[in-house]
Amino acid sequence: MADQPRNPLHGVTLERIVTELVEHFGWPELGQQVNIRCFQDDPSVSSSLKFLRRTPWAREKVESLYLFMLREKNRS
């Protein structure tokens, strides 16, 4: 953490991000928030990880939603 003390994504795996988003929103809401097929049609963490690791724009959207979720949790 010393290298990037202000980066909330530092040290957080993509699997953890997807898992926490699913726990918070659920697959249907997550599919609406981030309009990608791996969240809408037969979703699973493993298939989502495969897609997100190959698709930088989708990963950016998921990371952005994760940061938004963290800010909302901190406000509560």
Reported as a single tens digit per residue, the pLDDT across 13-69 is: 999 999 999 999 999 999 999 999 999 999 999 999 999 999 999 999 999 999 999
Q: Tell me the C-alpha distance between 52 and 58, whole Å.
A: 6
What is the model's pLDDT at position 1?
A: 43
Is the model's pLDDT at 2 over the cut of 60?
no
For residue 56 the two structure tokens come to 């930088």
Residue 5 lies in a domain: no
* Number of structural domains in the chain: 1
Residue 51 lies in a domain: yes
Q: Tell me the C-alpha distance between 17 and 15, whole Å.
A: 5
Q: DSSP character for 10?
A: T
Other C-beta atoms closer than 10 Å to the C-beta of 30 total: 20
CATH number of the structural domain spanning residue 25: 1.10.720.30
Secondary element (H or E) of residue 65: helix 56-75
| CB of 67 closer than 8 Å to CB of 9 | yes
Whole domain around residue 33: which residue ranges?
14-75
What is the model's pLDDT at position 32?
A: 95
Residue 29 lies in a domain: yes
Residue 47 lies in a domain: yes
